[in-house]
């Protein structure tokens, strides 16, 4: 199940990776490039995991927004 990757990323490359991810639009584009660029290294797995967490966050934000707006709408319908 667990495989050892020979193409591990160096510490310097991780510093550059984190720096690039801190940039709003560039970071997201780089995540897509690293995740689906065809390379099999540690950065590719990391990018796929971060994109999955982004998707989970978006789904939770949408659910929270729907619930909040439903509660807010019901409060206004009770007041009026």
3-state secondary structure of 61: helix
Q: Which two tokens stand for residue 50?
A: 């971060």
What does the pLDDT read at residue 57? 97
Q: Give the separation between CA 66 and CA 61, rounded to whole angstroms.
A: 9
Tell me the per-residue pLDDT of 5-49, one tens digit each, with 9 for 90 and over.
566 788 898 899 999 999 999 999 999 999 999 877 889 999 999
5 within 8 A of 40, measured Cβ to Cβ: yes
Cα separations (Å) of 17 from 14, 27, 64, 66? 5, 9, 31, 35
* pTM across the whole model: 0.77
Q: So where are the chain's domains? A: 11-79
pLDDT in tens, 58-78: 999 999 999 999 998 888 887
Residue in 7, 78, 74 with CA at minimum distance from that of residue 40: 7
């Amino acid at each position: 199940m667990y495989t050892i990757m020979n193409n591990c990323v160096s510490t310097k490359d991780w510093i550059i990776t984190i720096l690039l991810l801190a940039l709003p639009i560039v970071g997201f584009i780089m995540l897509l490039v690293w995740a689906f660029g065809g390379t099999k290294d540690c950065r590719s797995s990391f990018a796929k995991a971060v994109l999955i967490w982004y998707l989970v966050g978006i789904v939770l934000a949408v659910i929270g927004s729907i619930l909040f707006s439903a509660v807010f709408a019901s409060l206004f319908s009770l007041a009026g």
